[in-house]
Amino acid sequence: MGVIAAVAGASGYGGGELLRLLLAHPEIEIGVLAANTSAGLPVTDVHPNLPDLEGRVFTDAEALAAAEADVVFLALPHGQSAAVAATLPGTVRVVDLGADHRLADPQAWRRAYGGEHAGTWTYGMPELPGARARIAASRRVAAPGCYPTASTLALAPLLAAGLVEPQDLSVVAASGTSGAGRSAKVNLLGSEVMGDLTAYKVGTHQHRPEIVQALSGVAGTAVSLSFTPVLAPLPRGILATCSGRATAAGADSDAVYEALRSAYAGEPFVRVLPPGRWPHAAATLGGNAVHVQGTYDAESGRAIVVSAIDNLGKGAAGQALQCANLMLGLAETAGLTAQGIAP
């Protein structure tokens, strides 16, 4: 028998994407599938795209405590993972796709999400300096959010290379509607979303402190970030335009490009596109890839990097599986691909 994975929140978009990836994993078998609001329902009633799970039924989260599992994925809404994690044996590896354990500062957590901070786990973005070793040695890992993944991987190389001022960073990122979860909301109805772009939680989005935390770690000093999220009329995908004021008058596009290329040489999932080719969100769909491209805007004195990810892939389920592979001593790329689907 191979490695067994259990999933809490398996009926949601992130949970469903995780199941799709696990079905193709060469060394992981799918164990208990928990989904409290869907407990008792056949899995294929909720995820008809997963016919190989025909006959499987969702259970409730209480079953996870006694379930046979080597790794448990928590694909739950923010604020719900900690209670479930507390019931799991310490010997079981756990990857939290939610935000409960991402932030180190309890006050930042309270401001962003409300309620009490549940503690900090190892941050699961393998491409950051030193992160792979920390993830591999951990039994509890907090997978990053979708906006933080797109933003951090765009700006981290520029900060590490000293090309941009840490106190003048900006991100404007558009995301598909699946980033808001599967629960019914009037503002996410097709009639409300189609043909429209809407900025929301401007200057107050809960992912900003996570981006600031990750980038501050790379910069070695506190960063200042303006973050504007935009709801886009598409099911999945993120396109983020990230910039910072250049530190030197001699900065140019070649320096920006070289910083990206050097930082991600050999990375299995980050693709620095050829000069002149800019990321498309659709090109990353279905994969665990990050597409990045950068330039220098001499008129404004800002270095700019555009990144694209699938918010359900590298922004959620794919990244969680990437972390689990490291934690379990498996090939990091097992069950994952950098190739997208089209059209």
pLDDT in tens, 39-69: 999 999 999 999 999 999 999 988 998 889 9
Task: Output the pTM of the full model.
Answer: 0.96
What are the beta bridge partners of residue 169?
225, 244
- The domains of the chain are located at 3-143+314-328, 147-311
Query: Distance between CA 158 and CA 245 in Å, rounded?
Result: 10
Tens of pLDDT, residue by residue over 84-140, are 999 999 999 999 999 999 999 999 999 999 988 999 999 999 999 999 999 999 999
Mean pLDDT, residues 257-272 taken together: 98
Tens of pLDDT, residue by residue over 165-187, are 999 999 999 999 888 777 767 77
Give me the pLDDT at residue 1, please.
Answer: 58
Give me the pLDDT at residue 179, please.
Answer: 80
The DSSP bridge pattern shows strands 3-8 and 238-246 to be unpaired
CATH class of 3-143+314-328: alpha beta
State the pLDDT confidence band at 24, using cuts at 50, 70 and 90. very high
State the pLDDT confidence band at 2, using cuts at 50, 70 and 90. confident
Judged by DSSP in three states, 192 sits in: helix
C-beta separation of 72 from 30 below 8 A = no
Tell me, yes or no, if 242 is annotated catalytic.
no
Among candidate residues 21, 146, 154, 308, the one labeled active-site is 146
b/e burial code for range 161-195 (CB count within 10 A of at least 16 → b): bebbbbebbbbbbbbbbbbeebeeeeebeeeebee
**Domain 147-311 belongs to what architecture?**
2-Layer Sandwich (3.30)
